[in-house]
A and B are shown apart, each in its own frame.
Chain A
Amino acid sequence: MKARIPALVSLVTVAAVLSILPFVLGDYNISLAAQVGIFFIAVLGLDILTGYTGQISIGHGAFMAIGGYTTAVMSRDHDTNLVLTMLVAFAICFVVGLVVGLPALRLSGVYLALVTFALAVSVPLLPLKWSSYLGGRDGVQASHEVSNLWLYGVAWAASAILFVLAWLILRGRAGRAFRAVRDSEIAAVASGIELPVYKTLAFGISAAYAGVAGSLFVLANNGFAAPDEFGIVLSLQILIGAAVAGLGSLWGVLAGAAFVGLLPSISSSVPVIGSAHGRDVVFGAAVILVMLLLPGGFASLVAWLRRFGRA
Chain B
Amino acid sequence: MAAAATSRLESLRNRGAAFGGAPFVGLILVAVAAGLVVGSLRSATFAQLTVQGLALGAVYGILALALVLVYRATRVINFAQGELAMATTYVAYQLIQWGLSYWEAFFATLAIALVLGTVLELALIRPVLHRSAIAAVIVTVGLFVLIDGIVNWIWGGDFKSMPSPFGTKIYHVGGVSIARLYVGMFVVVIIAVLLVWALFRFTKVGLGMRAAALRPAEAAFVGVRVEWMLAIGWGLAALLGAVAGLMTEPSQFLLEPTLMQPILVYAFAAAVLGGLESPAGAVIGGLAIGVALNLVVQYVPAITSELQTPFAFAVILAVLLIKPTGLFGHREVRRV
B partners with A: yes
Residues of A near any B CB (own CB < 8 A): 50, 56, 103, 106-107, 109-111, 113-115, 117-119, 121-122, 125-126, 128-129, 184, 186-187, 232-233, 236, 239-240, 243, 273-274, 276-288, 291-292, 295
Cross-chain contact A243 with B153 (CB below 8 angstroms): no
Other-chain contact of B268, A114, A288, A291 (Cβ < 8 Å): A114
With A115-B317, A118-B317, A281-B153 given, name 7 new contacts (CB 8 A): A107-B324, A115-B313, A236-B145, A280-B145, A280-B148, A281-B146, A291-B128
Cross-chain contact B149 with A186 (CB below 8 angstroms): no
Q: Kindly state the separation between the CA atoms of A118 and B320 in the bound complex, as whole angstroms.
A: 13
Cross-chain contact B268 with A117 (CB below 8 angstroms): yes
Cross-chain contact A129 with B307 (CB below 8 angstroms): yes
- With contacts A103-B320, A114-B268 taken as known, whether A291 is within 8 angstroms of B309 at the C-beta atoms is no
Other-chain contact of A278, B77, B79, B149, B304 (Cβ < 8 Å): B149
Task: Quote the shortest CB–CB distance from A158 to chain B (angstroms).
Answer: 26
- With contacts A187-B336, A274-B153, A292-B124 taken as known, whether A236 is within 8 angstroms of B307 at the C-beta atoms is no
Cross-chain contact A288 with B135 (CB below 8 angstroms): no
Task: Quote the shortest CB–CB distance from B135 to chain A (angstroms).
Answer: 6
Q: Kindly state the separation between the CA atoms of A296 and B147 in the bound complex, as whole angstroms.
A: 24
- With contacts A111-B272, A113-B77, A295-B135 taken as known, whether A106 is within 8 angstroms of B324 at the C-beta atoms is yes
| 24 A-B residue pairings within 8 Å (CB atoms) | A103-B317, A106-B324, A110-B75, A110-B276, A111-B272, A111-B324, A113-B137, A114-B268, A115-B313, A118-B316, A129-B304, A129-B306, A187-B336, A239-B138, A239-B141, A243-B138, A273-B153, A277-B148, A277-B153, A277-B157, A280-B152, A284-B143, A291-B142, A295-B128
**A-side contacts of B149, CB under 8 Å:** 273, 277-284
Interface residues of B in 309-336 (CB under 8 A from A): 309-310, 313, 316-317, 320-321, 324, 334, 336
Task: Quote the shortest CB–CB distance from B223 to chain A (angstroms).
Answer: 30
Q: Kindly state the separation between the CA atoms of A279 and B148 in the bound complex, as whole angstroms.
A: 10
Interface residues of B in 147-192 (CB under 8 A from A): 147-150, 152-153, 157
**B-side contacts of A282, CB under 8 Å:** 149
Interface-central residue, A106, A129, A286, A288, by most chain B CB under 10 Å: A288
**Does residue B21 face the partner (Cβ distance < 8 Å to A)?**
no
**A-side contacts of B135, CB under 8 Å:** 243, 291, 295
Q: Kindly state the separation between the CA atoms of A73 and B121 in the bound complex, as whole angstroms.
A: 46
Taken residue by residue from 243 to 271, chain B's Cβ proximity to chain A (1 for < 8 Å, 0 otherwise) reads as: 00000000000000000010001001100
Other-chain contact of B152, A276, A283, A286, A288 (Cβ < 8 Å): A276
**Does residue B217 face the partner (Cβ distance < 8 Å to A)?**
no
Question: Considering only CB atoms, which chain B residue lies closest to A54 in the complex?
Answer: B134
Cross-chain contact B146 with A285 (CB below 8 angstroms): yes
Taken residue by residue from 265 to 290, chain B's Cβ proximity to chain A (1 for < 8 Å, 0 otherwise) reads as: 10011001000100000000000000
- With contacts A111-B320, A118-B316, A243-B138 taken as known, whether A288 is within 8 angstroms of B306 at the C-beta atoms is no
- With contacts A115-B317, A186-B336 taken as known, whether A277 is within 8 angstroms of B134 at the C-beta atoms is no
**B-side contacts of A128, CB under 8 Å:** 306
**B-side contacts of A109, CB under 8 Å:** 133
Task: Quote the shortest CB–CB distance from A42 to chain B (angstroms).
Answer: 16
Q: Kindly state the separation between the CA atoms of A105 and B139 in the bound complex, as whole angstroms.
A: 26
**B interface residues, tally (CB under 8 Å):** 46
Other-chain contact of B139, A114, A119, A281, A291 (Cβ < 8 Å): A291
**Does residue B197 face the partner (Cβ distance < 8 Å to A)?**
no
Interface residues of B in 116-142 (CB under 8 A from A): 124, 127-128, 131, 133-135, 137-139, 141-142
**Does residue B71 face the partner (Cβ distance < 8 Å to A)?**
yes
**A-side contacts of B147, CB under 8 Å:** 284
Q: Kindly state the separation between the CA atoms of A278 and B111 in the bound complex, as whole angstroms.
A: 28
Question: Considering only CB atoms, which chain B residue lies closest to A296 in the complex?
Answer: B131
Cross-chain contact A115 with B320 (CB below 8 angstroms): yes
- With contacts A106-B324, A284-B146 taken as known, whether A125 is within 8 angstroms of B310 at the C-beta atoms is yes
Cross-chain contact B77 with A110 (CB below 8 angstroms): yes
**A-side contacts of B321, CB under 8 Å:** 103, 106
Question: Considering only CB atoms, which chain B residue lies closest to A129 in the complex?
Answer: B306
Cross-chain contact A125 with B307 (CB below 8 angstroms): yes
**A-side contacts of B127, CB under 8 Å:** 292
Q: Kindly state the separation between the CA atoms of A27 and B176 in the bound complex, as whole angstroms.
A: 62
Q: Kindly state the separation between the CA atoms of A119 and B310 in the bound complex, as whole angstroms.
A: 8
- With contacts A118-B269, A295-B131 taken as known, whether A184 is within 8 angstroms of B146 at the C-beta atoms is no
**A-side contacts of B153, CB under 8 Å:** 273-274, 277-278, 281
**Does residue B144 face the partner (Cβ distance < 8 Å to A)?**
yes
**A-side contacts of B148, CB under 8 Å:** 277, 280, 284
Question: Considering only CB atoms, which chain B residue lies closest to A286 in the complex?
Answer: B142
Q: Kindly state the separation between the CA atoms of A240 and B137 in the bound complex, as whole angstroms.
A: 10
**A-side contacts of B144, CB under 8 Å:** 236, 284
Cross-chain contact B145 with A121 (CB below 8 angstroms): no
**B-side contacts of A243, CB under 8 Å:** 134-135, 138
Task: Quote the shortest CB–CB distance from A234 to chain B (angstroms).
Answer: 12
